[in-house]
Structure 1
Amino acid sequence: MALFIFTVDHLLFRLLFECFILRLHDVRETIILEFSLTPVPSASTSNDDEETRKQDSDVGLFFYRLKRYCCTVIRSIGRHRLSVRSIKSTTKMADILTFYHFNDVYHISDASLISKFAHVFARARPDSKSSDIQPLTIFSGDVFSPSTESSVLKGEHMVPVLNHLDIGLACYGNHDFDFGESRLIELSGKTNFPWILSNVVHATPHKNPDSHVRDGSLLALAQEYVVKTMGQYKIGFIGLAGTDWPSNCQHLPPARFLSPAEVAHKLAVRLRTVEGCDFVIAATHMRLAEDLSVSNATLDGDGRIDLLLGGHDHDVVCRILGDTDDNPGAILQGITDSAARIRNGEIVHVEGNVRVVKSGTDWRSYSVVQLKVRKGGDSKAQLDNIEVTQYLDLTRMQTYPKIPKCSKTLSILGSVQNQIMDAVRHPLLHTCVPLDGRSAIIRSQETNLGNMLADAVRAFYDTDIAFINSGGVRCDRIIAETNGNNALKVKDIIGENCISSIISITMAHNLQCTDIMPFDNAFVVKRVGGATLLSALENSVSDSHTDGRFLQVSGMRFKASWQRPEGSRVLEAFFEPKAGELEEINPGRTYTVAMVSFIATGFDGYDCFKAEETLVDAESAMTDTSLMLQIFRHSRKSNSVESRVTNNAEENVEARSDAAGDDKTEMGVKRAMEAIITGYDDIDGLPIVSPAIDNRLTFVSTTGVDL
């Protein structure tokens, strides 16, 4: 047996034993240690008896503390020399299961950030040379939408990035369905890891017997659960969707949402008793309140969930057993984001009985979760402890500039940007009349371009009224009719500002975009009182109207006078449920109104909208960019199946399923197409628009003469 001799002074001896004792406490081991201490003559040793007694007393204290954690056999006590004759453990040392976690990533514009993120996550990649248990990367949903990039490439932009991160498994998020179930199946099928979703099933069978859709089958060919082996441990993973998905999920097929807690308990039992799993982890895409509810319902027995790794909330969150704070803005129970940053910088460390972890959004945040586990003599696994280290914002860390960039990621992002460049040059529509987008005009009077955009939004949401704030239209020109040649392209709809957010500014500028709707604004829906509507119209024609607050409208008409005092310029206003049917705006009734989120939240002087009831919020809203692209991409002469060149070669989009009639987004797009498309070009089959000015907005002098 090897003999280890250490010669130390008593202060270093104290330090060594302090570290040793902490390590024993950390892994909860019982150690049998055989050792002896013998005197070591030293010229530097004090001859003072009191000092000698003090040093011997210190050594004795260390042995006393050591006995609290170990079974020891002491040969003798001397002063400075420690001879370790044997050491053995009566139980196995703890193993560490490490998980890298992130969720809700949408954009690829910041190549530097994503390449640094990828470098950090390279630590989680399998290393065949290492004998340690390899880490596993978990993703908790929302990646293919929404973003300007996704509007252009329909989610394709994320596939190569995800594949490079060596993800172990992922659960779907609500926005992953934004382009329909068929498109999601296509996208997830191109990734190199499994997707899980355990509690959402199809509600109606598909008429095509060869379809994957079956009553009760999981959405988007998701797996019900996945089992992974890490060292000698088997871990079962399930995926849970929030019950709020139907209210904020575009293109969601008819589906039944099963109770997350009941499904979690049932699958945990199956994974332990049938699959032989030691631990069960849920990857979720739910609000924090629902995560906590599932956690509390699955604490004990074979049906327990050992940890929930969540998304949906775009916050960094950690909750331990007993926590009740369901505000995702609090990183820890009762500790807000700002307080945590002040106290801990950009890193928060939690140790204990951790139950729920969420990891922020958009490549800036992530969590490293370590489960301390072990197996006893009966081979039964035990979870001792969970440690979580959360990085709140990589870009605000002092070490951020020193994090290397992953060259492979930069190459991937460069390739995706080239795809976007090709896609935005693709022809989209024709106009047989000039479209007036001049800033001086659209910010002070009715224009045909404003009418077309407002009509499309109103038809999509099927609301009473729609508003377009003129500041959201930035082309500042008259767009000439195309006459069958030089069709308007994708880049003309989304504009240079949007494109420069996803590729280099120089590349975007060289595209020479028209910039019709360059901000990717979200359209929300509010229930607005008639009195509030009249107040909003007054704000529209206030002295500040040229800053972009002037409204283009659909579903109503109003008459005003610029010569009257501000606040009393609107002379009359009518609701127009159908063409030619006019009803005076009733201050005592309510109307459903679609509008840009920017003004719905009170900007541009529209404080009157803030208190009005929200029916469709920004989370579930359609953006102006996405709506325009969907309207014109879905529409081609005599062709219900879209075939577009947007991704290297052909982008093949399947025909809408027989269940599409129940898809609210599809129905909305169809209504919008019918509202603004007047025909199709005979040569290329592209849709044609021909909007007109129809006196929705009329301005008169104080004498009543039209201006």
Structure 2
Amino acid sequence: MPRLLHYSDAENVYDDPTRAGRLAGTIRRLDGPDALVCGTGDNTAPGVLALIEEGRQALDLFDAVGPDFETFGNHDFDFGPEATRSLVRAAPQTWITANVYDPDGERFAAEETVPWTVETVDGVRIGVFGVTDPATPSLNPMARDLQFTDPYEAAERAVPELRTQGVDRIVALSHLGDGDDDLARRVDIDLILGGHRHSERDDRVAGTRLLRPGANGHAVVEVRFDATGSIGVDRHETAGAPVADDVASALRGRVDAAGLDEVVGTVSDPVERHDAAVFGGETRVGNLVADAYRWATGADVGLQNSGGIRAGPPLAGAVTVADLVSVVPFQERVVEATVTGAELRSILRESSAAVVESGAPDRWHGHVSGVRLTWDAAARRLREVRVDGDPIDPAATYTIATSAYVLSTDHEFPTLREQHRTGERALQFEVLAEYARTVGIDPEIEGRIRRVADATDRTP
């Protein structure tokens, strides 16, 4: 019976050629004539090599494992629609998108993509369609000229079309994240292979199996359809898997050619940057980035969104420019913004996912410099906020140094908008590298963010 091999959100896997080689080796080991290899977005960016190669480093993996199908993630547009079109033309897999359109209303890259398709595998006709988060233009300013239509309406068009073609199974390739639940409720399908959220998932909603493999090439999910209609699932960790030497060698060549091996600082106490730390409140890597922004601009406040710090190995020992690029691997500049004290208080309150929905409500989405705050989780309010040791004056004005991305999106810190911009500096990683050269890399936890769970706790 047919199998599906699912990978997603490979993102910075290419910056570690051995890990990328293990991902390729795992897929090769599992692949066969009874299998379809499927990607569900963000498999071309972000990352250090992605920034240098504009996503084309992913072709080393794609050409080696020959995926069958892929749908788009928000980061697959990091370098603009033309770069994405070029990559799609060069890639071996069929790109499936039912809800991404050019400004003129034509399906994006219509000559190279399809909205849905049918493949017969081991005698079973499998219908496949793909959908992408409609918030992508807000999440990724490089995609703002494209149209991302309602993915659920697109699915409701795709499913009847696939049924008329006599399919036995219907599978969605989804880069909707938490929207997979609504997708399962809107259409009657067998399986959703999901991405966007970096957490693993194996669940059922409205009779549909929902799967996610997690991010950064650490696992491949194998799905088995059997004759009884049931779905079997195995998760294959890539750690320790055989390395596909051709993939690893090709990527090492790209790393060497990038010339990002300048050592800009030394770290004796490793600086962690895994998701649990970055989204958990104050963290050393968050303080490092926010301090660098504030140092470079002289702003009152440094602000870094948690999602903009990418997970990866700790900063340890000799730290290179490439290491710092991998922390914030985006072509976004550090900008200065001027806000009132009342606006600043709202912006800091929006660090909580309980206020601006983004993942689990206990997640924390802001890292700060020049600020100390206490967050009352039960009451969903800021108990106290101080800037440079003083309480915020609602009528005063304050300057903020942050990423240009934060001003362009309404999904994080929606109070902070483009109209607040008053200046622009270098790219994020360039600022971080110059800070490391000049000041060093020695961040500490200082009590900048204090989160209190019990509203009755009034400890100062």
TM-score (normalised: structure 1): 0.42
What one-letter code is carried by the residue in structure 2 that aligns with 1:499?
Answer: A
CA distance in 1, matches of 2:11, 2:63: 15
Task: Quote the residue 1:313 is aligned against.
Answer: 197
The aligned amino acid for 1:308 is I
1:419 corresponds to: 257
Select 2:234's aligned residue among 389, 395, 406: 389
Structure 2 CA distance, aligned partners of 1:422 and 1:269? 51
What is the Cα deviation at residue 121 of structure 1? 1.0
- Counterpart of 1:384 in structure 2: which amino acid? G
Aligned to 1:587: 394
Does the Cα contact within 8 Å between 1:197 and 1:219 map onto a contact in 2? no
Change (3 A) 1:321 1:372: farther
1:467 Cα shift?
Answer: 5.6
Shift of 1:250: 2.6
2:19 matched to 1:113?
A: yes
* CA-to-aligned-CA distance 1:656-689 (integer Å, 9 cap, x gap): xxxxxxxxxxxxxxxxxxxxxxxxxxxxxxxxxx
Shift of 1:261: 2.1
User: Hey, what does 1:362 align to over in structure 2?
Assistant: 216
Q: Secondary structure at the match of 1:144?
A: coil
1:97 aligns with 2:26: no
Equivalent in the alignment of 2:55: 155
Q: In the alignment, which residue of structure 2 is the partner of 1:498?
A: 321
Q: Provide closer, same or farther for how the CA distance between residues 120 and 586 of structure 1 changes in structure 2, counting only shifts above 3 A.
A: same
Q: How far 1:120 moved relative to its partner?
A: 1.5
Pairing of 1:279-290 with structure 2 (within 5 A): 279-288=169-178, 290=179
Could you tell me how far apart the structure 1 residues matched to 2:222 and 2:426 are?
37
How many angstroms apart in 1 are the aligned matches of 2:118 and 2:245?
32
Equivalent AA in structure 2 for residue 371 of structure 1? F
Q: Corresponding residue for 1:88? A: none
Q: What do you get for the CA RMSD once the two structures are aligned? A: 4.3
Q: Is the 8 A contact 1:181 1:252 kept in 2?
A: yes
Which residue is equivalent to 1:231? 122
Superposition deviation, residue 315 in structure 1: 1.1
Question: Which residue identity lines up with residue 185 of structure 1 in the other structure?
Answer: R
Q: How many angstroms does 1:251 deviate by?
A: 1.2
Please, which runs of 5 or more residues in structure 2 have no aligned partner? 263-290, 304-317, 348-367, 372-387, 405-411, 418-423, 432-460
Q: Which residue number corresponds to residue 84 of structure 2?
A: 184
The residue identity in structure 1 corresponding to 2:83 is R
Q: Are 1:243 and 2:114 counterparts? A: no
* Other structure's SS at 1:276 match: coil
Q: TM-score, normalised by structure 2?
A: 0.62
Contact preservation (8 Å) 1:520, 1:625? no
Q: Distance in 1 between matches of 2:300 and 2:65?
A: 43
Give the corresponding residue for 2:168: 278
Q: Amino acid of the residue matched to residue 125 of structure 1?
A: D
1:451-475 Cα offsets, whole Å, 9 max, x none, are 5xx8xxxxxxxxxx79669xxxxxx
Aligned-pair identity (%): 22
1:263 aligns with 154
**Equivalent residue, structure 2, for 1:379:** none
From the superposition, tell whether residues 502 and 590 of structure 1 become closer, same or farther in structure 2 (CA, over 3 Å): closer
CA shift for structure 1 position 98 = 0.8
- Answer whether contact 1:142 1:176 (CA < 8 A) is retained: yes
- Counterpart residue type for residue 297 of structure 1: R
Pick aligned residue for 1:142 from 25, 29, 42 = 42
Question: In structure 1, the residue corresponding to 2:76 is in which secondary structure?
Answer: helix
**CA drift at 1:253:** 4.4
Q: Partners in 2 of 1:623 and 1:320 — Cα distance?
A: 47
Looking at structure 2, the residues matched to 321 and 533 of structure 1 have their Cα atoms a distance apart, in angstroms, of 40
Return the match for 2:180 from 255, 274, 291: 291
User: What stretches of structure 1 of length at least 5 have no aligned partner?
Assistant: 1-95, 127-132, 206-214, 300-304, 323-352, 374-382, 425-442, 455-464, 470-494, 504-517, 537-547, 552-565, 571-584, 598-610, 617-621, 630-707
Q: 1:251 to 1:532 in 2, by over 3 A?
A: closer
In structure 2, relative to structure 1, the CA distance for the partners of 1:590 and 1:279 (3 Å cut) is farther
Asked if residue 406 in structure 1 is aligned to residue 244 in structure 2, the reply is yes
Q: C-alpha distance in 1, partners of 2:27/2:95?
A: 19
Is the alpha carbon distance of 1:525 and 1:175 closer, same or farther for their aligned partners in structure 2, counting shifts above 3 Å? farther
1:109 touches 1:502 (CA, 8 Å); kept in 2? no
Is the Cα–Cα contact under 8 Å of residues 85 and 109 in structure 2 kept in the other structure?
Answer: no
The count of aligned residue pairs is: 336
Aligned to 1:164: 64
Question: Aligned with 1:143: secondary structure?
Answer: coil
Deviation of the 1:298 alpha carbon: 1.3
> Matched residues in 1 for 2:398 and 2:138: separation?
20
Please tell me whether the aligned partners of residues 235 and 279 of structure 1 are also in contact (alpha carbons under 8 angstroms): yes
Equivalents in 1 of 2:335, 2:193: separation in Å? 30
Query: Which residue, out of 524, 530, 546, partners 2:341?
Result: 530
SS of the residue aligned with 1:309? Answer: strand
Residue 182 of structure 2 aligns with an amino acid whose one-letter code is S
Distance of 1:125 and 1:389 partners within structure 2? 14
SS at match of 2:2: strand
Q: CA deviation at 1:316?
A: 0.7
